[in-house]
Amino acid sequence: MKLEKNSIFFVLLVGVLFGFSSPFVSSQLDSCNSALPVSNLIPFNTTSLTCTNAWSSQSFVLRFGQTDSNTWSFVLSAPDRGTYIAIGFSNNGDMVKNSALAGWISSNGGPGIVKQYYLGGYSSGSCPPDQGSLPLVSNTSVIISQSSQLYLAFQLNTQMPQWSHLIYAVGPSGSLPSSNYLPEHSSKASGTVDYSGGMVSGASGGSSFDKAKWHGFLVTLGWGILMPIGIMMARYFKKYDPFWFYAHISIQGIGFVLGLVGIIIGFSLDDDGVNNVDIHKAIGIIILVFGALQVKAFFIRPVKTSKLRRYWNWYHHNIGRAAVILGIANIFLGLNIADESTGWTVGYGIFLAVWGLSCIFLEVKLWMSNRDD
């Protein structure tokens, strides 16, 4: 028995050192330099398809071409990581409001599943299965697993595809769809395509943390978290003078800049037809104006002995409170528009609860301190 184990170890070691392929541990990535290894398992002719390295960082290879007057054929291959692979079609490179095809192999080596999806948002629930506008040819969509590679094959019934961009996505390793709803992709990218010339540009992108998420993250951090903390510094820590003042203006200044960057990113998003987005934008503009007024207030702050200081305090305090209240409301509205998972909403709600309880505690402590004085 010991001799047998040593022999197996020796074979594997030799295979690693000299590049031999072991049936236990290795697999061959798909390449445009070789023939499609699963062509006999695909229900249409693939011999005339153009091959291109669609997404090098994820080893995505795409074969495509017109195989009939009204038929375009596609075969997308990628390493099998125990999750789904997907390809979408878009006119601008964005995923939202477009359609995609995803495929995966069921757990325990079960049958392959291919579904079309309408990409209504960035969360799993906003991308329902068995919906979308791709004119798929019936009974030609398959996904095949061979030698640790996935091959997603399908055909479109069209003389010339109308979409100028292709979108690629891969799910989290080892995570399969539940009830055919896709878990959020771990990585995605997009590239342009010239169908008539058989050319596809190399896909750019990779992180699932896209522009919409950067918008939400920066605005939430800047105006939904830092701004309320900055208010606490000015309200409850004035006995630590001048520390409270520099902490207050620093936190508010950083929060304003982050929120401003987030709003700029937000205005660059493609949001045509998204429900309540106009209200979300309008509130965001009001918050931005209030924030700008606060910045201006810092530079026109009268001295403490001035009679105008009383009116300045009223203006500064109430404009700031209004901006924070609107910011919190708009964050929840934005999470609803994006149809994000409840985890984001619950997480921000927990922060607000801790912040609110802290304010109540400090307010009571301040009141008792003033009463003793």
User: Can you say which residues are annotated as belonging to the binding site?
Assistant: 215, 248, 280, 316
Start-end of H helices in the chain: 2-18, 211-219, 227-236, 243-267, 277-299, 309-338, 342-372
Point out the annotated binding site for heme b: 215, 248, 280, 316
Whole-number Å distance between alpha carbons of 172 and 124? 13
Task: Tokens 């005339």: give the residue.
Answer: 48
Task: Give the chain's count of helices (H) and strands (E).
Answer: 7, 12
Q: What angle do CA 241, 246, 248 make, to 5 degrees?
A: 100
Q: Which of 143, 151, 189, 196 is nearest to 61 (CA)?
A: 151
Q: Residues 30, 61: contact at Cβ < 8 Å?
A: yes
Residue 240, C-beta contacts closer than 8 angstroms, at least 6 positions apart? none
Whole-number Å distance between alpha carbons of 139 and 127? 23
Q: What are 35's two structure tokens?
A: 């023939």
Q: Which of 72, 70, 63, 68 is nearest to 152 (CA)?
A: 63
Q: Which of 211, 210, 191, 209 is nearest to 201 (CA)?
A: 191
Q: What are 80's two structure tokens?
A: 């099998």
User: What's CA 264's distance to the chain center, in Å?
Assistant: 18
**DSSP type of residue 109:** G
State yes or no: cis peptide before 135, omega within 30 of 0.
no
- What are the phi and psi torsion angles at 294 (to 5°)? -65, -40
**DSSP type of residue 221:** I
